[in-house]
Amino acid sequence: MSLPRTAIAGIGATEFSKKSGRSELRLAAEAVLAALDDAGLSPGDVDGMVTYSQDSNQEIAVAREAGIGDLTFFSRVEYGGGAACGTVAHAAMAVATGMADTVVCYRAFNERSGRRFGQPNSRLTGEPTSQGLEMSWHVPYGLMTPAAWVAMFARRYMHVYDATSEDFGRVAVAMRRHAATNPAAWFYRRPITLEEHQASRWIVEPLHLLDCCQESDGAVALVVTSAERARDLRRSPAVITAAAQGSASGQMMMTSYYRDDMSGLPEMSVVGRRLYERSRLTPADIQTAILYDHFTPFVLAQLEELGFCGRGEAPGFLKDGGIELDGRLPVNPHGGQLGEAYIHGMNGIAEAVRQIRGTAANQLTGVTNVLVTAGTGVPTSGLILSAD
């Protein structure tokens, strides 16, 4: 059976801030309404909703707050930031199979001024669950935060490939440079230098403060419908050419330390292979990549896992300016989570749609295919969005 093509027809976001003054429920509803307005739709047109398992708001609560009525499909995707592109995959499947006509994906954060995400939490261990058992091996020894978990990977990558802290810093510098010309970014007009990156305080060696993404308040929503219907709406559609989720052998939640090789992110390879197979595209066909950049070291690994350079070649790729706006593969033209905002990767999907439409703050020329990734170090997901 041939399934109909799907597309993202609307995007919406609240202002990204450090103190929103609004609840996560209200932020989610505002983003949903903005996305519907962007598409030229009303709340009554929505019959499906998808979000993260970690969003504090249930779909029915956001539906009530936004004035959405009956729902025929709803879903919650697991694994933190790894859910970002997975929400779109679930929505696209619902539309393609006829379970829903129009599905909204959303993520809301009152993270900086409310419930701070990623703080040390000794309660991660001791719970009678598989994750509680897993964390009991790490948390008692101080591995209690995402930064600490990623630092272990980063140190191994440095050892295997002779990478340096400066290599990680080049990611941070590029993201802040892109954010500096994006009026929606929290770090608008605030670029940094490599020297400033190196002088920033240690969080967990080898990660400096500027290797870690910011904490943000805000929300992002996306409207997914059929490509045919999207063509009749207010905005030009971003066609969902391919979507995938991926978990690799030996996968654990941010602590896959028992693999034979912990210098890569094999789950991202799983996603990349599926995206290229389903789209019949190659890395050479991608004009820009929106890579999940909660911590700088994982950007290097993603470049390699997705075939944009060979194993251990990412440091050289960065040093040559490969991820800059005029580079071989511009990465995160909006500034990413390091520069624009940390909305668990959903703002990156919105940027991919803008690049396809030709409406981005840092618009690139000739964009027809954008590859987007979700959270790394966890079971993850990815998309290829294309011009219609």
pLDDT tens track for 23-69: 999 999 999 999 999 999 999 999 999 999 989 899 999 999 999 99
**342 labelled catalytic:** yes
Most confident of 132-136, 256-260, 344-348: 344-348
Boundaries of domain holding 12: 6-110
Evaluate the omega torsion of the peptide bond into residue 206 and state whether it is cis, within 30 degrees of 0. Answer: yes
Q: With bands split at pLDDT 50, 70 and 90, how would you rate the model's confidence at 85?
A: very high
Rounded (10°) angle between helices 346-357 and 84-96: 60
Q: Is 115 exposed, middle or buried (0-12, 13-18, 19+ CB in 10 A)?
A: exposed
Question: Which CATH number does the domain housing residue 44 bear?
Answer: 3.40.47.10
Tell me, yes or no, whether 192 lies in a domain.
no
Tell me, yes or no, whether 26 lies in a domain.
yes
Tell me, yes or no, whether 95 lies in a domain.
yes
pLDDT mean over 301-319: 98
- pLDDT the model gives residue 129: 80
Tell me, yes or no, whether 91 lies in a domain.
yes
Q: Which is catalytic among the residues 52, 157, 276, 342?
A: 342
Check whether 113 has a pLDDT greater than 80: no
Q: Which is catalytic among the residues 79, 106, 157, 292?
A: 292
Tell me, yes or no, whether 369 lies in a domain.
no
CA–CA dist 138, 323 (Å, integer): 34
Check whether 143 has a pLDDT greater than 90: no
What domain count does the chain have? 1
Residue pLDDT, tens place only, 189-213: 999 999 999 999 999 999 999 999 9
Q: With bands split at pLDDT 50, 70 and 90, how would you rate the model's confidence at 20?
A: confident
Check whether 1 has a pLDDT greater than 50: no
Long-range contacts of 169-173, Cβ-Cβ distance < 8 Å, separation of 24 or more: 169/194, 169/197, 169/198, 169/208, 169/210, 169/211, 169/296, 170/194, 170/318, 170/319, 171/211, 171/293, 171/296, 171/299, 171/300, 171/318, 171/323, 171/338, 172/197, 172/210, 172/211, 172/296, 172/338, 173/197
Q: With bands split at pLDDT 50, 70 and 90, how would you rate the model's confidence at 128?
A: confident
Tell me, yes or no, whether 23 lies in a domain.
yes
Tell me, yes or no, whether 350 lies in a domain.
no
**258 labelled catalytic:** no
Tell me, yes or no, whether 317 lies in a domain.
no
Check whether 3 has a pLDDT greater than 70: no
Q: With bands split at pLDDT 50, 70 and 90, how would you rate the model's confidence at 124?
A: low
